[in-house]
Structure 1
Amino acid sequence: MLRFAFLLVLAALAGPASANVVGDMRVIGDSARTRFVVDLEKNPDYRVLRLSNPYRLVVDLPDVDFKEAAKPGEGRGLISDYRYGLIAPGKARIVLDLVGPVDIVNTFVLDPVDPEPARLVIDIVPTTAPVF
């Protein structure tokens, strides 16, 4: 019983797990195919949503902190602009403003390999409004 109480005290002192940190975000590509990349300390949980009027992609990330280096930026190709922020305690969102309707052809995470960070990658191509 004493051992169990000791473990509970240790767990309480440890506190919550540290947030995943976004170090950088960037847009690569052109109007035929565009890639959005997010560098993180560790592999993220994420969800990508599509919104219209205006066309946007939304990336929800739980328990994420943004470093000062991860600044909102100008887009390129099919992404006109992007921004981020906290939408609730422990929940962040990246919003990609799009030049028009797109199809998400690929999303994946690259594992971190020293010295490279984990990477969330989203590949998009143009499509029509009904397909979006």
Structure 2
Amino acid sequence: MEKLLLLHSLREVRQLLPSYFNLYQAILHRIRHQNFGVVELAEGGDLSRCVVRLRQRKPELWTVGEIRQIAEALNLPVAVCIKLEAELNRMGEALLVQPSRMYVSLLRVCGLHRLRSRVRLGDRWSYTDLYRLYQGTADERLLRQPPEN
């Protein structure tokens, strides 16, 4: 039963990711072309200036929660972030009850680190890790329901 919950969650996350990636790109585009400063982004997104400076240098580190906060400040739709956060939480809970062999093999296929993903909440996933998850689950065989015994 737990494996079915995990597979369902993975499918849901995989379906939401293209929309999230589009929102992410739209936000980066708007930030670049409207010359938002560190102070404006920090205040608008309720983030520290240090975090904003780091994210400007390494945009792949923006997390789902931070993208949601910036999208709200820029009056962009945030529904995909909210849905993605909820599904990532469900997926994380389902992963925790999996046998360690299956858990490790899924993370290995996706190129993710075991320790970091165990403690990550739905809004703490970076763009890089979400993209790895998306690529790692591209093989439909991974997302198929297991045969009933």
Task: Answer whether TM exceeds 0.5 for this pair.
Answer: no
Greater share of residues in strand: 1
Instruction: Please report the TM-score for the alignment, with normalisation by the length of structure 1.
Output: 0.25
Larger Rg: 1
Instruction: Please report the TM-score for the alignment, with normalisation by the length of structure 2.
Output: 0.23
Greater share of residues in helix: 2
